Structure 1
């Protein structure tokens, strides 16, 4: 277990848990918010890359650059879909659905990356999945129309794009985290520029701009530097479980700052998620594969 990488990923996920709180205070729609945060993150990461001297030692490989650019497309779509989900449903519900992404990662990681799934990992992920279901409260959606209008589709699309981002980033080795995130935020600027309505920036308050800056510099630049620097050094199953930190943080912020009161089921979901995280971190499976383990096909 790479403890330093695990700590970085935990910190990045904990900070990302506050993205919903920042988003609803920016005062601008999803596409424009992602566009602006890409600009600020690009400037932030460029400065870090330059002043740390990383530009002098960067190793450029065509395959990894292309892979990073493709990853950037999924990353930007992930942000847009998530922010649109925030516009349609509560932060706690949206961020919890979004964090079903590790379920997709676990399955695709097994099929594409040839990683072995241990019984311990399966159990921990199932526990986290059940916890997320409790938090989401799917029983509240009584009809197809209500389901389609609830923002669930946006949240699910964001989860799928997030899973693709994690898997594509997993095999990056030579490009630095600065370059990785820099290239991806540049992709975001190019992708979203034709779709931006710059009129939405008229009349924004100082508070709005501070929250916009926060989403760009902190949630995009700093968080994704930690994210891409850590996941390449951790097994897929550990990544799959640790990312469940951010729905917990989101619900805590909802409760403390936005007067959200979790139900009993949501409280149980939080406990299950923490249980799955602790079980994975402190009880890694090291024994040879037995009947209780699944190998890749």
Structure 2
């Protein structure tokens, strides 16, 4: 095992786990915050791309560039929906639903990539659905308005878009991670520019700006650099396990700093979701390791 890569990915996931805490302290709506994030990511990671000399050895392929552009659309929508969910729900509940993404990948793979749906995958999907109902509350499902106000739809859309990001990026082999992210975040700038209300940046406090810059530089630039620098040196099963550091940190921060106190049913829902996801990923890890 590459110990340095393990440490880098663990640190990246731990830092990313605090993004919800940073987001709610920026004082900026989702669209504008993602726009700023895309600018920071484009500048930081393209700079790293040039500093490391990766741009000189880049292998461009028209099909992969177009595929990366589509992937970028899903990635940016994923961020917007996630931040909108943070505006409506607690970080713990949002992150729990957001981490349904692996289940969505399983379902999308079955529908569009002709991958076989296993019994364990079907069971995990059902249990995750039950868990989602428990953590959001059965009362939130009585009307469309209540569901929208609860933030559930935003969190589900965020998870779905993240799953679509993973699905569309699966066959990209030649483009480097830096060039992929540069294209994706540049697409994000172009996508969101017409929808940005720049007056929201008027009157922000120094504290707000610290959190905004932190979200851009730390959670996007630095975290993605650590992620890209480590993920290709580690086996898939280990990456899957280490990504659980993200939600654990997010939920701990929500409980310890923001005083979130889940009800018994919400706690059960969170356990059902993460237990099902782990159950889904674990057999694949064993098969990967043996194969």
Alignment partner of 1:56: what SS?
helix
- 2:121 aligned partner: 122
Is 1:72 the counterpart of 2:54 in the alignment? no
Name whichever of 138-147 and 56-65 sits farther off: 138-147
Deviation (angstroms), 1:110? 3.5
Deviation (angstroms), 1:196? 0.9
CA contact under 8 A between 2:27 and 2:204: conserved in structure 1? yes
CA contact under 8 A between 1:31 and 1:195: conserved in structure 2? yes
Indicate how the Cα distance of structure 1 residues 161 and 94 shifts in structure 2: closer, same or farther if over 3 A, else same: same
- 1:218 aligned partner: 218
TM-score, normalization by structure 2: 0.82
Deviation (angstroms), 1:38? 0.5
- 2:278 aligned partner: 277
CA contact under 8 A between 2:81 and 2:154: conserved in structure 1? yes
- 2:51 aligned partner: 51
Is 1:103 the counterpart of 2:103 in the alignment? yes
Map residues 1-297 of structure 1 onto 2, 5 A cutoff: 11-115=11-115, 122=121, 125=124, 129=128, 132-133=131-132, 136-141=135-140, 143-144=142-143, 145-225=145-225, 230=231, 243-271=243-271, 273=274, 277=278, 280-281=281-282, 284-286=285-287
Alignment partner of 1:149: what SS?
helix
Deviation (angstroms), 1:44? 0.5
Indicate how the Cα distance of structure 1 residues 238 and 147 shifts in structure 2: closer, same or farther if over 3 A, else same: farther
Alignment partner of 1:81: what SS?
helix
CA contact under 8 A between 1:238 and 1:281: conserved in structure 2? no
Alignment partner of 1:77: what SS?
helix
Indicate how the Cα distance of structure 1 residues 154 and 70 shifts in structure 2: closer, same or farther if over 3 A, else same: same
Q: d(CA) in 2 for partners of 1:3 and 1:22?
A: 29
Indicate how the Cα distance of structure 1 residues 31 and 262 shifts in structure 2: closer, same or farther if over 3 A, else same: same
Deviation (angstroms), 1:137? 3.6
Deviations 1:71-90 (A, max 9, x none): 10111111111111111222
Indicate how the Cα distance of structure 1 residues 279 and 163 shifts in structure 2: closer, same or farther if over 3 A, else same: closer
Deviation (angstroms), 1:270? 5.0
CA contact under 8 A between 1:231 and 1:239: conserved in structure 2? no
Alignment partner of 2:92: what SS?
helix
Q: Which has the higher helix share?
A: 2
Deviation (angstroms), 1:111? 4.0
Deviation (angstroms), 1:206? 1.9
Q: d(CA) in 2 for partners of 1:95 and 1:283?
A: 23
Q: d(CA) in 2 for partners of 1:10 and 1:128?
A: 28
Q: d(CA) in 2 for partners of 1:61 and 1:159?
A: 28
CA contact under 8 A between 2:72 and 2:187: conserved in structure 1? yes
Deviation (angstroms), 1:262? 2.4
Indicate how the Cα distance of structure 1 residues 10 and 167 shifts in structure 2: closer, same or farther if over 3 A, else same: farther
Name whichever of 182-191 and 152-161 sits farther off: 152-161
Q: d(CA) in 1 for partners of 2:133 and 2:10?
A: 22
Where do 5+ consecutive residues of structure 2 fail to align? none
